[in-house]
Amino acid sequence: MTGKIWFVGAGPGDPDLITIKGRKLLEESGAVLFAGSLVDQAATLFTPEGCDIRDSKDMTLDEMTDWLIAAANQHETVVRLQTGDPGLYGALIEMTRPLTAAGIEWAVVPGVSSAMASMAAAGETLTLPEVTQTVILTRVAGRTPMPPGEELEALAAHKTTLCIYLSITLLHKVQEALLAAGWSEDSPILVVQKASWPGAEKIVRGTIKDIKRKCQDEKIASQAMIVASPTLGAADWPDLIRSKLYDPTFTHRFRKATEKQND
């Protein structure tokens, strides 16, 4: 009998943000393949003594798959530890197809994405009533092209929250796309490097016009989330439209309205 391979989301960097299920699997694992260039190695501290731990940063996709298959032939529980969530900008399907073909059982444990961790670090919200109810997770075209219709300028035209991954070295393209989509150069931008990483997190607030310079001043050139959103800075707005769910005039199946709605 071969073992089972678990693709576990390690979260954005802070080892405490891995899920309880993910940590339990690490504690039971016989072998762990972790993304050393992205995942804080402290996450591997949850593994038992004698666990076979391998950093994948110097491996090709085929080498990683071969390693996982070999490990599954020796251990009941094998973990592929990935940054954030395994299904977002990871090679999940490329890695699982050979496992399925080899008859090896696998499953996914979701993780906290850096988009959520970045907004949490900055004390911001992704959505606000009657401001935006939509979040777009995307990136700028680099070595990996964007499919037709998914260019940043086209997505930015919706004027919703944009969480832009893997694009800090292309920040000038982000600026150009937002401006071309009709955003004002004074629109707020948030950049968070290494969100939640103990002692390494950097938070930079600016506008489309000055965010690149501010990031250069902070020497941010990797592992950073870019957020453009009409919700940024809402904590300091003089007025907010309140959520209907908690409004005293709103009735739902758990609570009856205590006040009448004004016409």
φ/ψ (deg, to 5) at 110? -65, 160
Rounded distance, CA 107 to CA 43, Å? 19
Place of tokens 């940063």: 57
| Beta strands per DSSP E along 13-148 | 31-34, 52-55, 77-82, 106-109, 135-139
CATH H-level superfamily of 114-234: Tetrapyrrole methylase, C-terminal domain (3.30.950.10)
Extents of the domains making up the chain: 4-109, 114-234
Architecture of the domain spanning 4-109 = 3-Layer(aba) Sandwich (3.40)
pLDDT at 224: 97
Say if residues 152 and 173 touch (Cβ distance below 8 Å): yes
Instruction: Give me the tens of pLDDT residue by residue for the chain, a chain 263 residues long.
Output: 689 999 999 999 999 999 999 999 999 999 999 988 778 777 788 999 999 999 999 999 999 999 999 999 999 999 999 999 999 998 999 999 999 999 999 999 999 999 999 999 999 999 999 999 999 999 998 888 899 999 999 999 999 999 999 999 999 999 999 999 999 999 999 999 999 998 999 999 999 999 999 999 999 999 999 999 999 999 999 988 777 666 666 666 666 767 676 65
Amino acid at 131: V
pLDDT at 38: 74
How many other C-beta atoms lie within 10 A of the C-beta of residue 104? 19
- Please name every residue paired with 6 in a beta bridge, in sequence order, or none if there are none: 79, 107
* DSSP designation for 71: H
Rounded distance, CA 130 to CA 128, Å? 6
pLDDT at 219: 97
Say if residues 179 and 185 touch (Cβ distance below 8 Å): yes
